[in-house]
Amino acid sequence: MNDAPLPKILIVDDEPLNVELMEVYLSGDYDVVPAYGGAEGLEIVRNEDIDLVLLDVMMPDLSGFDVCKALKEDPLYNFIPVVMVTALSGKEDKIRSIEAGADDFLSKPVDRLELETRVRSLLKIKQLHNSLVAQRDQAQNYLDVAGVILLALDREQNVTLVNRKGCEVLGRSEDAVLGKNWFDSFLPAKDAEYMKKMFCKMLEGDMGKFEYCESRIIKADGEERLISWHNSLLTDKNGNVTGVLTSGEDITERMRAETGLKKYAEELEHSNELKDLFIDIIRHDLMNPAGAVKGFTDLLLKRGKLQEGDFRMLQSIKRTNDKLITMISSAATFAKVESVSQVKLKPLDLGEVVENAAQSLESQLEENRIELRIGIGGSYPALADPMIEQVFMNLISNAIKYSPRGSVVTVKIDDSGNEWNVRVIDQGSGILDGDKELVFERFKRLDKGNIKGTGLGLAIVKRIVELHEGKVGVEDNPEGQGSVFWFTLRKP
């Protein structure tokens, strides 16, 4: 049984017989509401949920032209279909009806079949419009719950989308942002020209250098805030670039806090109090909103009822948020191993550890078309903590990341008497001699073109190996291009 309410049709005519006739024609399929004057009809529209209006032209108190114009000028009611029902047939009257915003015409006496056909057609159009508005509003709601600024700029640098977070940071309403030139309206004049040049290069496809950037914005009260931006191109169905989607995070306070924390850390020499604070910030203040963005984005993508442009924007949001989660996870791991001063070592088979790491990295290997060769056989008992698997994961993942597609990454374990010497060999671009010591320092990331990292992966490796009283280093690949990252572990 269908319990959905019938579409509600308002009939406005000062002649009761006309109202009664159309009510008889429509009452079986629709909920008909009568009104016997223009003013009364307007009052009913404002108080009831009307789906369509049948409107007489000639009425003594308020003409149909005036009623129609009042409805179409009000954003709350301008999408309600209005059919002018008139005995007039002159061209001038039809022009006046069109100027008032009428959607269709019917001539008196009204033909029943024509009436039913016009009403059914206009109601179908209204239902489609309502469905599109609902989908748009749902998409906007998901964007508004995101904890980052979301902006879309067209090729003319004008703002075509801004979410609630963006309006909050700018201190402006949505209407005060949409349609404005982003660089001229919301950036300091001294930064605008450079950012415009960067934007033009992005539109030309040069995204590698500008995927991530930082810039200042000006709030409505004149305050400047520093924003970290992640940029993605927007394209149409033919692949033509139509603009840029960017997600931003206000890092003003974070940069101030980082400056203060750095000074504090130097004074306290990385005290346990600072480490605990850092871990808590990462786990709660950063991971929770990032997880929320991931959940809402995944949910919206699964619904599959989005327009092409909205779908592409959500995919860009998801990719950017996944990078954020990776950075947070690396920072949390580094903080954890930094806070550990001693580990309990027990016999572990390094062969099994390598196999576990390889399985975890299968998707990354496939995505980059990298072959992983594990040149080991038999058992390799070592004194280690289970966290040693993180060392294998980081070194192999780094080798995949910096190796060309279609190349080979090799893992070998050599017997060095009282210890094992583990080597991860890649065929990448290699590391300069002057940089070989720097790669293991935290927050140090060498320039590798388009490849982005946190600068913590190798610092985590070094810290875990040190906890195992081993050594770690990097050398040139003696068999050709690339590097050999190695570390040692004691045997039982």
Q: What is the pLDDT of residue 333?
A: 65
Q: Name the pairing type of β-strands 8-12 and 31-35.
A: parallel
If you average pLDDT over every residue of the chain, what do you get?
82
Q: What is the pLDDT of residue 1?
A: 47
Looking at the chain, how many residues does it have?
492
State yes or no: pLDDT of 268 exceeds 60: no
Q: Using one digit for the tens of pLDDT, what is the confidence trace for 32-45?
A: 999 999 999 999 99
What is the homologous superfamily of the domain 8-131 according to CATH? Response regulator (3.40.50.2300)
Query: What spatial distance separates the first Cα and last Cα of the chain, rounded to whole Å?
Result: 75
Read off the pLDDT of each residue in 133-143 and give the average, rounded to a whole number.
Answer: 61
Query: What percent of the chain lies above the pLDDT cut of 90?
Result: 25
**CATH of range 346-490; options 3.30.565.10, 3.40.630.30, 3.90.420.10, 2.40.50.140:** 3.30.565.10
Q: Which amino acid is at 435?
A: D
Q: What is the pLDDT of residue 331?
A: 63
Taking the CA atoms of residue 449, residue 452, residue 455 and residue 457 in that order, the dihedral angle to the nearest 10 degrees is -110
Q: Which two tokens stand for residue 310?
A: 């909205």
State yes or no: pLDDT of 337 exceeds 80: no
State yes or no: pLDDT of 451 exceeds 50: no
In angstroms, the Cα distances linking 25 to 21, 116, 194 are 6, 8, 67
State yes or no: pLDDT of 454 exceeds 70: no
Distance CA 204, CA 398 (A): 30
Read off the pLDDT of each residue in 388-414 and give the average, rounded to a whole number.
Answer: 89
Distance CA 46, CA 119 (A): 21
- What are the extents of the domains in the chain? 8-131, 143-335, 346-490
Read off the pLDDT of each residue in 464-481 and give the average, rounded to a whole number.
Answer: 88
Q: What is the pLDDT of residue 377?
A: 79
| Residue 136 pLDDT class (50, 70, 90 cuts) | low
State yes or no: pLDDT of 270 exceeds 70: no
Q: What is the pLDDT of residue 296?
A: 76
Read off the pLDDT of each residue in 50-67 and give the average, rounded to a whole number.
Answer: 90
Read off the pLDDT of each residue in 41-59 and give the average, rounded to a whole number.
Answer: 91
CATH of domain 143-335: 3.30.450.20
Least confident of 187-201, 260-274, 313-327: 260-274
| Residue 344 pLDDT class (50, 70, 90 cuts) | confident
Sign of CA dihedral 322, 327, 330, 331: negative
Q: Which of 94, 30, 22, 23 lies closest to 57, judged by CA? A: 94
Q: Using one digit for the tens of pLDDT, what is the confidence trace for 362-380?
A: 988 998 899 999 888 788 9
In angstroms, the Cα distances linking 265 to 195, 269, 282, 296 are 34, 5, 17, 37
State yes or no: pLDDT of 3 exceeds 70: no
| Residue 450 pLDDT class (50, 70, 90 cuts) | very low
State yes or no: pLDDT of 146 exceeds 60: no
| Residue 275 pLDDT class (50, 70, 90 cuts) | low
In angstroms, the Cα distances linking 432 to 171, 477, 478 are 47, 12, 14
State yes or no: pLDDT of 421 exceeds 90: yes
Q: What is the pLDDT of residue 452?
A: 44
Q: Using one digit for the tens of pLDDT, what is the confidence trace for 96-121?
A: 888 888 888 888 888 889 888 889 88
Q: What is the pLDDT of residue 180?
A: 94
Least confident of 3-12, 50-59, 446-455: 446-455
Burial of 339 (0-12, 13-18, 19+ CB in 10 A): middle
| Residue 486 pLDDT class (50, 70, 90 cuts) | very high
Q: What is the pLDDT of residue 446?
A: 52
